[in-house]
Amino acid sequence: MKAVLKKKSVAIPLMVVCIILAVLLGMNISFARQRGEIVQRYYNTGIQQELDRRIEAANSLVGLAEGQGVEESLIQQVKNDIESLRSATSPGDQFDANSVLSGSVAGLAEKTSGDETFMQDFQAAQQAIQQSDYNRQAEAYNEVRTTFPVSILRWALFSGPLEEFR
């Protein structure tokens, strides 16, 4: 076996295959790590945390509205929109559900009198979402996937593009 591996006709193609596999493996590890870091920031310290804060503020506003006898259909709409946001799984779906929730909460807030703290917290969380750098990071990650030489080897990437929160 050692004699076969020492032949140039076997050693050179074997070395080329090893180099190609090392490049593909290294590229996948690098992209998977970068993608994982961006996704982790989204869920652990970024947009998801602020969406949870908006849900909490919206629930508090619902409780206030129920105590004031506000029209049940408005309250139910906000509850439905909260549930839609909770069940949304992708950044795009969360963006859409968050936009709908913003409208229904604003409508309910107009009919509710009293503590403005809930709306301030709701709006502050939205401001934090708008200032998040997730979309910029996702866009940069996706752009790198389309540049040379990655664009040629993209078929070999196991980590797909990142969905933006838009």
Instruction: Annotate 7-30 with b (16+ C-beta within 10 A) or e (fewer).
Output: eeeeeeeeeeeeeeeeeeeebeee
Query: How high is the pLDDT of residue 14?
Result: 86
In terms of pTM, does the model score above 0.85?
Answer: no
Q: For residue 59, with 0-12 CB atoms within 10 Å meaning exposed, 13-18 middle and 19 or more buried, which class applies?
A: middle
Token digits for 30?
A: 């690098």
Which residues of the chain are under the pLDDT cut of 70?
1-2, 5, 115
Report pLDDT for 12.
Answer: 87
Q: What is the pLDDT of residue 146?
A: 85
The pLDDT, as a whole number, for residue 23 is 84
Question: How far is Cα 130 from Cα 123, in angstroms, rounded to an integer?
Answer: 11
Closest CA to 51 of 130, 164, 153: 130
Helix axes 8-40, 134-146, angle to 10 degrees: 160
- Give the per-residue pLDDT at 1: 64
